[in-house]
Amino acid sequence: MNTTTGRRRNILADAIESLGSTAAAAPELAEEQSEALVPADPVGRSAAPAFLERRGAAFDEIARAVKRPTIKIKPSECSIWPGNARDYAALTYERCVSLIDSIREEGANREAVVIRRTQKSDRPFELIVGTRRHFSISWLHANNHTEIELVARIETLDDEGAFRLADLENREREDVTDLERARNYREAIDSYYNGVRTQMAERLAIPKQNLHNLLQLAELPDEVVAAFAEPADVKVRHGMRLSPLLKDAERRDPILAAANDIATEQSNLRDAGSPKIEGSRVCERLVAAATAPRTMVSPTRTKAVVMAASGREVGQILSDTKTKGMTLSINPKGGSSVDEILEALRPIIENARFNR
C-alpha cells in the first residue's frame, strides 16, 4: 500500500470514528477531509453544479477502510430516520426495480445499511443510511420473499453525526434530487449548526458557495416547485437564477403567476399523456415573466410602445385584434441586440389577443 493511500484510509477511518462526537473536528483533520472529499476548483468556477454532478468516492472508501461487524434484521425492526435527504415516501418499485432484482438474486443487500439503536421507540433500530435498500427488502417481504433479511452495521451516532454520514453517502447517489438535498440542508443548518453556514460548511468539508447555492434552491416557493413536472427536474442552477428574482417584490408576483399557469399546463399535459415541459424551459419562462418588458401607452400617441428589460424601446404595437391578429413595428432604439428584441417580443406575442 503506498503512503498516500494509507494516509487517506486512516483519515477516513478517523472520520467515521468521530461521527458520534458533536465537537468540531481538529483543524488538521478538517483540512485533510476537505482535500479527500471535495477536490479543489483551481479555475474558480461556480462550485454548485460541480458539487452536485461530482460523484465522490469517499463513502465507498470509508466502507472499505472501516470494517464493522454486521447483523441481519428484518426491515420492520427499524424505523426511518427523518433527517436523511431522501424522501422515503416517494420510493416506488419502479424507482428501485434494479436494486430489488439484485437483492433477490443475491439473497441479501451487498452493501450494509447503517443503523443505530433507539431508546424511546417501539422498534429497536433506526435506519440512518440505506433507505433504498430498506425499501427494496421491505417490498420483497411483501412479495413472498420473507427469507431475505437486511444486512446492517450498527453505529453510535448523534443526530449531527448521522446527518454527516448520510450526506456523505447521498453525494454519490444520482437518484437523490437536488431539491431533496437542498431541503435537507435547510433543515440541518437550523437543527445542528445554529443557522451558521460557515460552521456547517466546515463540518461537511464543502465550499461555502456550494452550501449557499443549495440553500437558495431550498428557498424556492412551493408554487415555483409545482411548475416543474417532477421534483427531479428542479436543479441547483434553477435556484441560482430564480432566487434573486423572487427576492424582488415587483418581480415575485409575476413569477408566481406564471408558475401557477405552468403548473396547470403540466397537469393538462400529464392527463393527456403528452410530453412534459422540461425543467430548463420552465425556468426560462419564469425568468421571462420576471423580466417581461413593459408595454406603455404614451399620452401623446395611441400606439403601445414595446420596451426591453433594459428600458430601451424596441418597437410599437400598431394593432392587436383577435380576428386580424397583431401588427408590430420593430424599430429598436439605442442599439438593442437581436436577443434582446426577441426576449421583449415573446411575452407580447404570448399575451396577444389572437392567442386568447
Helices (H), 109-234: 131-141, 159-170, 178-192, 197-204, 208-218, 222-227
Distance CA(346)–CA(290), nearest Å, equals 13
Answer with the residue of higher pLDDT: 335 or 250. Answer: 250
Distance CA(32)–CA(25), nearest Å, equals 11
Answer with the residue of higher pLDDT: 6 or 285. Answer: 285
Query: 80 forms bridges with which residues in the sheet?
Result: 127
Other C-beta atoms closer than 10 Å to the C-beta of 344 total 27
How far, CA to CA in Å, does 315 sit from each of 292, 305, 334? 15, 6, 12
Q: Give the total residue count for the chain.
A: 356
pLDDT at 27 over 50: no
Average pLDDT of the chain is 79
Among 18-32, 158-172, 278-292, 306-320, the range scoring the smallest mean pLDDT is 18-32
State the cell numbers at 30.
478538517
Burial state string for 165-200 with b = 16 or more CB within 10 A and e = fewer than 16: bbbbbbbebeebbbbbbbbbbeebbeebbeeeeeeb
Distance CA(241)–CA(256), nearest Å, equals 15
Highest mean pLDDT among 50-54, 168-172, 224-228: 224-228
Among 115-124, 140-149, 212-221, the range scoring the smallest mean pLDDT is 115-124
| Max intra-chain CA distance, the chain | 84
**174: confidence class by pLDDT, cuts 50, 70, 90:** low
For residue range 123-167, list pLDDT tens digits in order. 999 999 999 999 999 999 999 999 999 999 999 999 999 999 999
pLDDT at 102 over 70: yes
Amino acid 52: pLDDT: 44
